[in-house]
Structure formats: structure tokens, C-alpha cells
Chains A and B, each alone.
Chain A
Amino acid sequence: MFSVRFWGDRGSIPCPGPATVKFGGNTSCLEIRADDRLVIVDLGTGVKPLGDWLMGNDFKKGPLDADIFITHTHWDHIMGFPMFTPIFIPGTKLRIRGPVSYEDDSLESIIGAQLSYRYWPVRQSELAATIEYAQLKETILDLGKGLIVKTKYLNHPILCLGYRFEYEGKSIITAYDNEPFRNVFPTDPQDPGYDEDAAKEGELAAREENEKILRFYQGADVLIHDTQYTQKEYEGGKIGWGHSSFEHAINSAHKAGVKKLVLFHHDPNRTDDQLEELEKGYQRRIRGKTAMEIMMAREGLRVEA
């Protein structure tokens, strides 16, 4: 059994309220199960209900042992950590891994600093769980018992990793937060900053980096992709913000032969009605053109690889 369940799918900030009941208002948190192994991706506010659920289920079988992968350290991806109940339970073992920009503090101090008196009534040193932190780069990790994770840098204003989990020939991939690489150098010869070589090298570099990301998705059974914007919204002032459009995610997933694409990291202002309409609209648009299945992430959704 190899599956992913969504506990938080919202981008930027939690947004509870009557307009987000169906898809949920919690920020990023995924529960991946490879038979009896537990992997958590991101510690957004969705990790609070996940922790509560684990307390009532996994803990019956003994202490919790889990691998946690952080895609990047932006607030919405780490802010649920202080309310993840298992950290207060003796015997819990957590290995937290993620990327950190070179100019920044260690992963432990970025995530752990949320547990200091100025933000929270419990300090990190008071936690009962055993927690190991490790900084990740582009690499392949063998998590044991046939579970492997490969990582790939994505394009976001801070160092951010995509994860490709592979188990028994199946794959579940995360690709958020991510914007397609683009040439950031002027290509118009009339532009005062124009430089022919930089323009050409920029085009080439962006194309090659995007191709690398496509190869990273290649043949995925499940791809969870950043789709914060529609293409129109993206082009209307969101370029460079580090997120993708539905159109980009669908096109690149189709090109890479992905089987199931989960649209993820919903804009905080997007209502249930809008998300439903968008989901139906995109499903209609691809009907008959691809064998790929697409679905909008929602809290509680479970997808098998």
C-alpha cells in the first residue's frame, strides 16, 4: 500500500471560514504511507489534525516513528509544528529534513525557534520527543524497507525542494512551491539592460532547468503540484511570486506522463465554489485529450499510487 492523504492544502496562510469548508483552510501537510511506514511532508497547520488523528490510531500500536520532509521553510509550511501533539510524547522519534538557504540559520533553529517563550509557552528543550534535524540538498535517500526519496530544487524565492517518493515500483511526487523557471534577463534589444549573451544564456538555462523538472516528474503515479493561480492571474501580476498556474501544472504533468495529478496549494482567497468550478472546468478541458486524472486537493482526500 502506497498512498497520500491531505491534511492541509492551502497556500500562504490558514483560512478557516464558511467559504473553505469543503476543501479546507489548513496549510500544507501530507501524510504518506508506505505500508507501515509514515512520512509527513510539511508542517503546515494541517499537521495539528494529523497529530490528533495519530494519537488515536498509530499510538495504539506503540511509539511514533516518522520521517518528516519540509519542502521549504516559509511560514505556512512550518507553522503547525508547535501544535503537533506527538512532539510532547516520550518515545516519539522524528527525523526532520529540509533545505535551508546558505545565508540562513540551521533547520533546527528555524523550525525549533517557533518553540520559544516569545511565540509559545513551551520551549524546544522541553519537548519529550527525540527529534533529529538534517539539512537536505539535491540527493537520493534510502529510507529503508524499499522506500526511496529523490529530491530536486524547484523555483521559489527561497531554496525549495520537490520530493519523489518511490516504493514498490510506484511514485508519489511533490512539486510545490514552484514556478516555472524563466529567463529573467531582458530579451528586447531596446531594453536598456539588454545583453545579447545574457539573454541567450538565460533562455537556455531556463529551458534546461524546466526540462530537468519534467524529468523529475516523469511517469509519476501521483504528482502533487502547486496551482495557486489560473494562467490569467499568473500573467496578471503574479510572475516571480514562486507559484504555478493550473494550466502550467496540467500541461507539464501530461507531458511527463503523470497518471494522477493533484492540484495543490490553493490561493487563500479561493472559495469552495470557485475551486469546485475550476476543478470541473479543467477536467472538462482535458477530457479525451489525456489519460491523466486530475483532481483538486481537499482535506481528507486520500490518493493511492
Chain B
Amino acid sequence: MIDNAEKKIDAYIKNMPSLPTTVAKVLEVCNNPRTSPADLNHVISLDPVLVGRVLKLINSAYYGLGQQVTSLVRAIIMLGINTVKNLALSSAVLRNLSSRKDFQALDMEGFWRHSLCVGVAAKVLAKHRGIDSKLTEEYFTAGLLHDIGKIPLNAVLSKEYVMAISVSDRERISLHRAEGQILGIDHTKSGAMIASAWKLEGAVGDAIAHHHAYMEYEGPFKDILFSVVLANRFASIMGIGFSGNRYPEKLDNAVWEFLKLDRSIFDEIEQVVNQEIEKAKVFLRVE
């Protein structure tokens, strides 16, 4: 157990940088006065931290909106392209200063790809199950952000986080258990702190906070949560991206039953998910 772990994480979250993978693209898109809303939506939606920051802003007390906004498309329509551009620009510049060194234990590219894969897969699963396409954006956001709690652990407690990853490897336990043992806090807890700081209540916040303890979940967003859990499983079985967890726990059958899916779905969606990730990679020039 680390002294003041939560305090340190809390301080970090207050000024949390975004992932640098997309920085160059964000700068290019946002500095271009001819950027279209579609381009802006595209570049931001590929970056979990930026999506979070934009949603955080629009849901903040600053605007005092009566209703929770959970989609970037709506945020752009409501706030206007200029405000969202400025927001993305400023946070891209800010994060560029600090974030490479924040990725010590975790591989940044691997983390990014894992997050994107879970987001895309959750959305593809939802579409496959006939979920209304107006709602699928939230499945994507929930998947994209589900592991965001790893960023402060990795940045603030980096030495201990290296240790947690090696304990997870050596003892063949899921990373979140090793985090709990070594750090006294796991990424669902630190993720919940981010969700609360960024006001990501609802499905996105619940997916962040409960994606490992999903069997105990009794909230109203079980459909999205279970889709993210399954998408997470998909990412790990297919080996798309890597966010430090070599030994994820076995998936409970209840997930398959609840979503009315069987294992063949993984093969069915693999190609579409890979295509979506390839599109994103081309767009972001991630090698």
C-alpha cells in the first residue's frame, strides 16, 4: 500500500494530460480554419482523454445544462466547432509537455490500440444486436474510456506500477488484482475518480468503474457495461493492442447469456473491427 496514493492520483487527475498519439493530428486539424465538423469529430473521437475532456466541459457547471451530454457529435453541434477546436488544441498542447514520460510501465501505443479496439468492438456488438444507431456512440465512448484509470496509476505510481504488472505476469493474476495488492488501488477505482472529476456519470462512468466487478453491478446500464466487458475480452483474445493485462479473468457465462450472443460472434466481427482500427490508424498515421 502506497502512502497518499489516492491523494497523488487525485492531484494528477485534476490536470490530466491526454495521450500524445494523436497530438500532431489534433494540432493539424484544429489549426486548420477549414476543418469540418466531421474531421474534428473523427480526430477527437479516436482519443479517449480528449473525448473525456470535451464531455467534461460540456457537462461541467460552467454551462449548467439541464441534461447530460454523452456524445461528441452533440457537443460539437451545441458548443460549436470553434469552442471544441480550441478545447482540443489547448489540451493537446498541454499534454504534449508531460505525457510521454507518464507512460513508463505501459506501452502507450498498445494502450491506445486496446482502448480503441474495445470502443469499436463494443459499438460493433451493439449494432449487431440491433441497438438503435442513435445509442451506439455511447457504447463506443464507454469502451474507449473503460481503462482510463490506468493512466494516473502509470504516471503517478510508475515504479510500483511496473511491479504490479510483473506480479500479474508472474502470479498469473489479472492486472487489476495485482494493482490492488501492490498499490492498494486498482484502475477501476482510479477510473471512477476520473469519471467523477470529469462528471462522466451514467453508462460511461459505470463501464469505467465496474468492468471488472460486472457481476455485482446493479445499475441501469448493464447492457453497455456487459458489451464493454465482452469487447474487452474480444480485444484480449484477438491480441489487439495491449494494456498490461496478460491474464484476464475468465468471462462469466452470464455475459453471453445476457447479450444473447455466442462465441462465434468474435469471428464474425473481427474483420469489421480490424477495418475500423485500420481506418483510424491511417487517419492518425499510427505505425
Contact = CB atoms under 8 A, between A and B. Distances in A.
A202 B77 contact: yes
A209 B78 contact: yes
A238 interface: no
B71 interface: yes
B38 A193 contact: yes
Interface stretch (A179-187, A261-269, A276-284): A179-187
Contact of A186 (B38, B66, B82, B133): B38
B77 A193 contact: no
Interface in B84-138: 86-87, 90, 133-134, 136-137
A206 B63 CA distance: 18
Contacts, number: 79
A133 B91 CA distance: 28
B25 interface: no
B133 A200 contact: yes
Contacts of B76: 184
Given A200-B134, A201-B71, A183 B77 contact: yes
Contact of A184 (B61, B64, B77): B77
B62 A137 contact: yes
Interface in A137-161: 137-139, 153, 155-159
Contacts of B252: none
Given A138-B63, A197-B137, A185 B87 contact: no
A190 B76 CA distance: 22
B59 to A, nearest CB: 12
Contacts of A200: 133-134
B74 A197 contact: no
A103 interface: yes
Contacts of B78: 153, 181, 205, 209
B42 interface: yes
A206 B77 contact: yes
Nearest to B140: A197
A187 to B, nearest CB: 11
B74 A201 contact: yes
Interface string B216-234: 0000000000000000000
A103 B62 contact: no
Interface string A91-104: 00000000001110
B278 interface: no
A130 B57 CA distance: 33
29 contacts: A101-B83, A102-B57, A102-B87, A103-B83, A103-B86, A137-B63, A138-B65, A138-B66, A181-B78, A184-B36, A184-B37, A184-B76, A184-B77, A185-B37, A185-B38, A185-B73, A193-B39, A193-B42, A194-B38, A197-B137, A198-B38, A198-B41, A198-B73, A200-B134, A201-B74, A201-B137, A202-B37, A202-B73, A205-B74
The 4 closest A-B pairs by CB, nearest first: A193-B38, A137-B64, A184-B37, A205-B74
Given A193-B36, A202-B77, A205-B78, 12 more contacts: A137-B62, A158-B80, A159-B83, A181-B78, A183-B77, A184-B76, A195-B42, A198-B41, A200-B134, A201-B73, A201-B137, A205-B77
Interface of A: 101-103, 137-139, 153, 155-159, 181-186, 191, 193-198, 200-202, 204-206, 209
